[in-house]
């Protein structure tokens, strides 16, 4: 279900008050690929329902550059929402998911292990609310950037 932050906050609070474990992850999810799917499946396995915070188009441009996203936010949201492992999708425009994590207070916040050595601004608000941060495996060679590079290389061949 694609929902706004306020609606989602109420849904998450109700479900977690009923004893369910809410899991939050986030990302750009531009050109959905198997690495995304595996990460989302791993995140979903951490709890009872999965919330995906999706970077807005403006947010993706800030993170990835002026040529991205390749797929507009409404279509990215629709694709993520169609996955059986995803319960809720919400857009966010901030540079990180810090405000989203603070608003939702998920029991579990999931990112890939590439964040083991990087600052994770969401960690403090998740842990302050009694939640945990969990890191899931990364899938080497499975990224939108590598897909774009492969497509461009094929396109340049005579």
**Could you give the CA distance from residue 16 to residue 51 in angstroms, rounded to a whole number?**
13
How high is the pLDDT of residue 147? 67
Q: Is the pLDDT of residue 152 over 70?
A: no
Domain limits at 94?
5-156
DSSP secondary structure, the chain, as one string:
-B--HHHHHHHHHHHHHTT--EEEEEE---S--HHHHHHHHHHHTTSSEEEEEEE-HHHHHHHH-TT--SS-HHHHHHHHHTSTT--EEEEE-SSSSHHHHHHH--SEEEEEGGGSSS--THHHHHHHTT-EEEEE---TT-SHHHHHHHHHHHHH--
Which pTM was predicted? 0.90
**Could you give the CA distance from residue 117 to residue 20 in angstroms, rounded to a whole number?**
30
User: What does the pLDDT look like over 75-116, one tens digit per residue?
Assistant: 999 999 999 999 999 999 999 999 999 999 999 999 988 888
User: What does the pLDDT look like over 109-138, one tens digit per residue?
Assistant: 999 888 888 889 999 999 999 999 999 987
Count up the domains in the chain and report the number. 1
**Do 50 and 23 contact (CB within 8 A), yes or no?**
yes
Query: What does the angle CA 36 – CA 85 – CA 27 come to, to the nearest 5 degrees?
Result: 35
What CATH code is carried by the domain that includes residue 125? 3.40.50.620
**Mean pLDDT of all residues in the chain?**
92
**Could you give the CA distance from residue 38 to residue 57 in angstroms, rounded to a whole number?**
23
């Amino acid at each position: 279900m694609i929902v706004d932050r306020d609606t989602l906050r109420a849904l998450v609070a109700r479900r977690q008050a009923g004893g369910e474990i809410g899991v939050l992850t986030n990302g750009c999810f531009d050109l959905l690929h198997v690495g995304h799917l595996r990460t989302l499946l791993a995140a979903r396995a951490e709890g009872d329902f999965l919330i995906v915070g999706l970077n807005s188009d403006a947010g993706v441009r800030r993170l990835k550059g002026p040529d991205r996203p390749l797929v507009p936010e409404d279509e990215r949201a629709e694709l993520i929402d169609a996955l059986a492992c995803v319960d809720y999708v919400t857009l966010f425009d901030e540079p990180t998911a810090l405000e989203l994590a603070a608003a939702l207070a998920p029991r579990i916040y999931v990112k890939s292990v590439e964040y083991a050595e990087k600052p994770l601004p969401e960690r403090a608000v998740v842990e302050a609310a009694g939640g945990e941060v969990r890191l899931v495996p990364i899938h080497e060679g499975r990224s939108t950037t590598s897909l774009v590079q492969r497509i461009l290389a094929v396109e340049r061949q005579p």
